[in-house]
A and B are shown apart, each in its own frame.
Chain A
C-alpha cells in the first residue's frame, strides 16, 4: 500500500468521510482515511440521524446548522440517494406554560432568518394526527428532517473512493510524529507520511490530540434509542424524540447520560424512552419493539463544534463536533476550502480550538 499522501484523515465516520469526499471533489492529490474499526462502528452508526436546526442555541449556531441542512438536497444529487427527507421538525410541549419559552426561541431565530412557528394544539393535531391530543402546542421548523446514516456514510465512502481516496479500516493510529514539515502517522498496518493531517476522531478526539500534545476537549454523552417493527407510514414529521424511517420502523429516543464509552442499554432509560414515545404518540402503545441500542456522542466541552486549523501546528486541522450528521456537508465543504484556498466562505474563527486557551 502507498505510504505517502498529501492528506490523511484520521477517522472515517460521518465527519471524516464527509471531509474526505468533499476534498476528493476538487483535489487530485492523494487522500488516505484511517479508521480504527470500520466506519460506522462508533457514533455515526448509532444515531437517529436527524438533520436538525431548530433547538440549536445561540442563534449563530442554529444559522451554521441551517447552512449545512441547506446543502443536503445538493449532496444527495451528487453522491446518490441517502434517504434524506426534509420532513419538517416538530417539538411538542405538554404544558401551556412552555409556550412563552417557545415564543422566545422563535423570536431569537427570526432575527437570523430561520422561521420557527409556535403551533396551537389544533395546528399540531392537524399536521400530525397521531400526536397525543393532550398536547399543548409545538415548535415547528420546515428546514428540519432526517437522513439514513448508513446510506450517507456508505455513499460518502463510495464517492470518495471513485475519486481516488484510499480507505484503510481496522487500522488504529498508535503514534503521530512531526518531522521536517511532514507528519508521520504510525498505525497497526504501517507508517504513513503526509503533508496535511486532519483529526476527525469524534469521541476519541482527546486521545488522538494527545499524540501531538494538542488538547481537544471532547467528552462522551450516551444516547439510548428504541427501534420498532416496521409500521405503516403514519408519522409525517421528524418529531424531536421520534421519527419513522423509510422502511416503516419508528426510532425513539432523546436521552443524554454521561457514561464514558459504555455502550450498554439500560432498563431505566429504555422505560423512560417508552414513556416518552407513548406520551407523544399514544398509538405506539401496541407497536412491537425489536431492539434497543445506544450510541456515544462526541460532545465538545462547551457544546460547540471544534473546527479549523490547530493553532501553532502547520498543516494540522481538527473537526470534532456533536451533531456530525447535521453538520457534515458544511464541515466537509469548509475544511476543503481551508486546505485548498487557505480560507473559508463562512467564517469559522468562532469554532477554533484556540477558544479553550
Chain B
C-alpha cells in the first residue's frame, strides 16, 4: 500500500487519510470511520476492514487481536424501507415534535 492506495472503495478513502486518523490518536476502525467515512458506504465495511486493521497494526504496533472489529448493524445488506415497515400508524418509542409540547392551563408549559 502506498499513500494513494484506495482503502474504502465506496467512499474513496485513501491510505493516507486513514493514517492521519491513527497519527491523531485514533485506534479503532470506528475512529477511522467517523473521521473519514471509511466503511460508511453501501458495502458497510465488508471490504476495507482488514486493510484498515493492517494500517492500525503497522502504525500502533497493536496486534490484530487487540484491534476491535467495526460494529456491524442491521440490516447488513441494503433492503428497502418498505420491507422494514409494518404500515402501523401508532407509535410508542418514536415521537413527534408536538408530542413533546405540553399544554398547561391553555398555554405552552
Contacts and interface: CB of A to CB of B under 8 A. Distances in A.
B25 A254 contact: no
Given A54-B97, A291-B40, 4 more contacts: A274-B85, A276-B94, A290-B78, A292-B74
Interface stretch (B1-9, B47-55, B100-108): B100-108
B34 A278 contact: no
A61 to B, nearest CB: 11
B80 A290 contact: no
B27 A170 contact: yes
22 contacts: A38-B31, A41-B30, A41-B31, A41-B34, A57-B100, A57-B101, A58-B108, A58-B109, A104-B106, A107-B108, A150-B34, A169-B25, A169-B26, A254-B95, A265-B74, A271-B84, A272-B88, A286-B80, A287-B81, A289-B75, A289-B81, A292-B75
Given A287-B80, A289-B80, A275 B95 contact: no
B79 A93 contact: no
B69 interface: no
Contact of B82 (A157, A167, A226, A278): A278
Contact of A139 (B75, B85, B91, B97): B97
The B interface is mostly helix, strand or loop, or mixed, namely: loop
A271 B93 CA distance: 11
Interface of A: 37-38, 40-41, 45, 54-55, 57-59, 91-93, 98, 101-102, 104-105, 107-108, 139, 150, 154, 157, 167-170, 224, 226, 228-229, 240-241, 253-257, 265, 267-279, 284-293
Given A228-B81, A256-B93, A275 B35 contact: no
B24 to A, nearest CB: 8
Interface string B36-69: 0100111010000000000000000000000000
B94 A98 contact: no
A273 B25 contact: no
The 10 closest A-B pairs by CB, nearest first: A169-B25, A274-B84, A91-B97, A288-B78, A55-B97, A108-B108, A274-B85, A255-B93, A38-B31, A285-B82
Interface residues of B, number: 44
A293 B73 contact: yes
A188 B39 CA distance: 30
B81 A154 contact: no
A272 B92 contact: yes
A138 to B, nearest CB: 9
A279 B34 CA distance: 30
A150 B107 CA distance: 38
A269 B94 contact: yes
Contact of B34 (A40, A267, A291): A40
Contacts of B85: 271, 274-275, 278, 285
Contacts of A253: 94
Contacts of A276: 91, 94
B108 A272 contact: no
A276 B95 CA distance: 9
A197 to B, nearest CB: 21
Contacts of A240: 96-97
B45 to A, nearest CB: 10
Contact of B101 (A101, A154, A228): A101
Given A270-B84, A275-B85, A154 B35 contact: yes
Contact of B81 (A265, A268, A286): A286
A102 B98 contact: yes
A229 B42 contact: yes
Nearest to B43: A290
Contacts of A254: 94-96
